[in-house]
Amino acid sequence: MKVEVPDMTCKRCVKKIEEALLEEGLKAKVELTDKSISFEGEHELDRIRDTVAKAGYSIRVCV
């Protein structure tokens, strides 16, 4: 599954999100080039959303 993070603008943003996901034990790939986070399983969406929000960012589900 893939979600967009429209307010992710730099490598520092990527690092902050990656660290937050890692702290929660979530496996995901954060990409600045297309401002996205890719992860396995739709069941993780709520945890990803909550973790990214705690890091100060919002997500938008890609359709």
* Rama region for 5: left / alpha / beta (φ>0; ψ in -120 to 50; rest): beta
The percentage of residues in the chain with a pLDDT greater than 70, rounded to a whole number, is 98
- Per-residue pLDDT reduced to its tens digit, 10-26: 999 999 999 999 999 99
Q: What does the block give as tokens for 1?
A: 């599954």
- How much is the pTM? 0.94
Q: What does the block give as tokens for 42?
A: 């739709």
User: Over 70: is that where the pLDDT of 63 sits?
Assistant: no
Domains contained in the chain, CATH given = 2-61 (3.30.70.100)
